[in-house]
Amino acid sequence: MMLVTMLTAVWLVTIVGGFAVLANHSLSPGRQHRPPRHWPAASVIACSATSASLVMFIHPDCPCALASLGELDRLIARHADRLHVSLLVYERLSNQPRRQPPPAVNGVSMILDVGGREALRFGAATSGQVALYDAAGLLQFNGGITVARGHAGDSDGTAAIDAILRGEEPAVRQTPVFGCSIVDHDRRP
């Protein structure tokens, strides 16, 4: 009986420990840099002169990207008339075959970011990072639009973008980004 009790205790500790590790990873944001205050002049993407411009950076192998794309799709559904969206998909510099592109999102210009050049210009380090600029090219929001790695749902990031696009003052202008490293992801085992 004592052996069964000990094995049960070890099993429970292992299960609880596993859940703690998963929760810690899920709630750990990626690296984040602040995008330039003004739209980068060297960018190959044009900033809209008539509406807000949102750029999102993703790594095609990041499993968290699907949640970010889902949240982006919901933002576009609410603000399609006030928002110009560019999705930059990282592609490494190599002779390796191209990856499967992420699912298409309606109303989005999808651009391959070869070598992460645009990510560098915009200061994007983590898959799912979003930068929102106004029609004058001034940064209005920077961060993620999910609540955790791979978890969709209401977030401070989407609430901030919603408020900005409605002409209201958001509660925050920067949020953590939950995703994989854009460039370093290729070097992971």
Per residue in 100-155, pLDDT (tens digit) is: 555 556 668 889 998 899 999 999 999 999 999 999 999 999 999 998 756 577 89
pLDDT exceeds cutoff 90 at 174: yes
> Which of 5-14, 20-29, 96-105 shows the lowest mean pLDDT across its residues?
20-29
The residues near 104 (Cβ < 8 Å, ≥ 6 apart) are 110
Alpha carbon distance 112, 101 (integer Å):
9
Tell me what pLDDT residue 84 has: 94
Q: Measure Cα distances from 157 to 31, 40, 61, 175, 177 in Å.
A: 16, 22, 23, 6, 9
pLDDT band per the 50, 70, 90 thresholds, residue 19: very low
Other C-beta atoms lying within 10 Å of the C-beta of residue 105: 17
Tell me what pLDDT residue 108 has: 81
Tell me what pLDDT residue 95 has: 55
> What pTM value is reported for the model?
0.76
> Which of 10-14, 38-42, 174-178 shows the lowest mean pLDDT across its residues?
10-14
pLDDT band per the 50, 70, 90 thresholds, residue 161: very high
The pairing of beta strand 52-58 with beta strand 83-91: parallel
pLDDT exceeds cutoff 80 at 29: no
